[in-house]
Amino acid sequence: MSGSRWKKLVLAEQSVIEQIPPMRERVLLAAMNLFKALPISKITMEDVAREAGVVRSTVYKHFKNKEELLAALLAHEIRSNHHPAIREMHERATSIENLTDMFMAEHELALNYVLLGNTFDPSKIPGIGELVLASTEIAEANRSLWLPILEDYRKHKLIKPDLDLEQTIRWLTYQHVWLLSHPSALTDSNEERRAYMRTYLFGAIEN
């Protein structure tokens, strides 16, 4: 992908982040502070409003429930931290090995997310996988990252030409969620985990 197109994508992404309404950002920050300190099950929308210094109706104006708040925080994390790192990796090389490395790098970024322990534990949020996959905000954040990359790989004939890219991105998202919510179910070894992804995930779409 040309440098000019990547520059346009990055600028567009920055614009999305910068255009977050101040009050919405204020509510998100308040929710972040609470989610870091307390189990999500014990937090109410009233608590979020109190932390933000606004009335409860203001919170509901932007988010209908805690799940929507959480999805917005996850989407913001993807746009702010995952996008720049993965795009930089894509600029270095175009190969299935690098595609696998990008997937694993995003997984490592997610592992370092401050809310990970309070969000991707199925015992705390049993429906976290369903929440992530159902969120249009998270879906768009993932789509704006991976769609240009996969289009570039298809142009270079590295992935199957008839591949449904939208479904592929959804499958990548599912794999991330599963690995984060069940970190040791597959293996405790990062090398083995990467080998699984390279063989059974990216090997399946390789041209």
- Report yes or no on 144 lying in a domain: yes
CA–CA dist 193, 101 (Å, integer) = 11
Backbone phi, psi, residue 18, to 5°: -70, -25
Longest dimension (CA), the chain: 55
Q: Does residue 53 fall inside a structural domain?
A: no
| C-alpha 117, offset from chain centre | 15
State the angle between helix axes of 22-37 and 66-77 in degrees (0 to 180), rounded to the nearest 10: 100
Supply the pTM of this predicted model: 0.83
**Overall number of domains in the chain:** 1
Residue range 112-135: mean pLDDT, rounded: 80
Rounded Cα–Cα distance for residues 142 and 87 (Å): 12
The whole-number average pLDDT for the span 121-149 is: 87
Query: Coil, strand or helix: which one is 72?
Result: helix
Which of the four pLDDT bands, split at 50, 70 and 90, describes residue 18? very low
Taking the CA of residue 179 as centre, how many other CA atoms within 13 Å lie in the half-sphere pointing to its CB?
Answer: 25
111 is a domain residue: yes
**Which of the four pLDDT bands, split at 50, 70 and 90, describes residue 132?**
confident
**In a domain? residue 101:** yes
Would 140 be classed as within a structural domain? yes
Q: Regarding predicted confidence, which is higher, 89 or 131?
A: 89
What is the pLDDT, as a whole number, of residue 23? 85
Residue 113 lies in a domain: yes
Residue 41 lies in a domain: no
pLDDT for 8: 56
More confident residue, 184 or 164: 164
Where in the sequence is the domain holding 154, given as residue range(s)? 3-17+66-205
Tokens read off for 95: 């190969």
Distances (CA, A) of 138 to 32, 121, 134, 145, 195: 16, 18, 8, 11, 27
